[in-house]
């Protein structure tokens, strides 16, 4: 292809195993040092520095300097959503690791995808919001309905304030483990923050995994609605 976006250059950056592991580690939404990312990638610090320089130059990562430390994070939600989409494509094509790690069941149950809820619980949330008519398909993808604006306002989420931000309010993000959609965008982030702030769930240390408490799971079921909550969020 002689015209249009250069997907080959981007694919080359994402296709390196060490860089892919670094990006996957940063999908937790936290900033990590070069040393931490070197361990995640299984490479020497000097090699990690070279990889990170390329990712920063390509604007896939940004670097923040605090004192003597440099912290790296994913450059923005559009990068995170692209990485999640590639994970979903890999899963659909059977391109999975031959040795699943011990945290895989927890990650599949519930995890943070950059800043929103993913995994089984994330897809349940998306489907329940759609079933209740709080979000609906639009010409641009998915959007908040009038009923949704009122419901989210009652939950302390101001849709008008989210609309004032440059980020899309709603985006359907293909979940790599469930192969269904979960809710991304600023509303997805706000809902994830609400779940954590209310103590329904907690983030596990050094992991993307999210664990719901027994009381939190009951509250989440109630939020999903009686039908969806009773049927699936067990």
Model pLDDT for residues 198-228, shown as the tens digit of each residue: 999 999 887 889 999 999 999 999 999 876 5
The single residue listed with the structure tokens 């390196």 is: 16
143 within 8 A of 135, measured Cβ to Cβ: yes
Tens-binned pLDDT, residue by residue, of the chain (234 aa)? 566 677 888 888 888 889 988 998 888 888 889 999 999 888 998 999 999 999 999 999 999 988 888 899 999 888 888 888 888 777 777 766 544 444 578 888 999 988 999 999 999 999 999 999 999 988 888 999 999 999 999 999 999 999 999 899 999 988 888 888 899 999 999 999 999 999 999 998 878 899 999 999 999 999 998 765 445 555
* pLDDT of the residue at 41: 87
Q: In what order do the strands lie in the sheet with 61-66?
A: 32-33, 69-74, 61-66
* pLDDT of the residue at 202: 95
Tell me which CATH code domain 7-75 carries.
Answer: 1.10.10.10
* pLDDT of the residue at 219: 95
Rg (CA), the chain: 18
Model pLDDT for residues 24-37, shown as the tens digit of each residue: 888 888 888 999 99
Output the pTM of the full model: 0.78
What are the residue ranges spanned by the domains of the chain?
7-75, 80-232
94-112-214 Cα angle (round to 5) = 110
**Helix 34-41 / helix 45-57 crossing angle, nearest 10 deg:** 100
20-35 core/surface letters (b: 16 or more CB in 10 A; e: else): bbbbebbbbbebbebe
């Amino acid at each position: 292809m002689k015209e249009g976006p250069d997907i080959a250059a981007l694919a080359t950056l994402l296709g390196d195993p060490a860089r892919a592991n670094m990006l996957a580690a940063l999908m937790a939404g936290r900033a990590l040092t070069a040393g931490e990312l070197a361990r995640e990638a299984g490479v020497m610090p000097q090699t990690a520095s070279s990889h990170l320089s390329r990712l920063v130059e390509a604007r896939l990562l940004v670097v923040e300097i605090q004192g003597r430390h440099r912290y790296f994070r994913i450059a923005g939600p559009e990068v995170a959503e692209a990485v999640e989409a590639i994970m979903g494509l890999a899963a659909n094509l059977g391109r999975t690791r031959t040795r699943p790690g011990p945290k895989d069941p927890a990650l599949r149950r519930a995890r943070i995808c950059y800043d929103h809820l993913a995994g089984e619980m994330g897809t349940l949330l998306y489907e329940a919001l759609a079933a209740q008519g709080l979000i609906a398909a639009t010409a641009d993808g998915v959007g908040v309905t009038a009923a949704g604006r009122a419901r989210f306002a009652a939950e302390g989420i101001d849709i008008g304030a989210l609309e004032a931000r440059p980020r899309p309010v709603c985006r359907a993000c293909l979940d790599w483990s469930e192969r269904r959609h979960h809710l991304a965008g600023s509303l997805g982030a706000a809902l994830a923050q609400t779940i954590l702030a209310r103590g329904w769930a907690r983030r596990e240390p050094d992991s993307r995994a999210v664990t719901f408490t027994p009381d939190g799971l009951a509250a989440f079921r109630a939020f999903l609605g009686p039908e969806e909550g009773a049927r699936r969020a067990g």
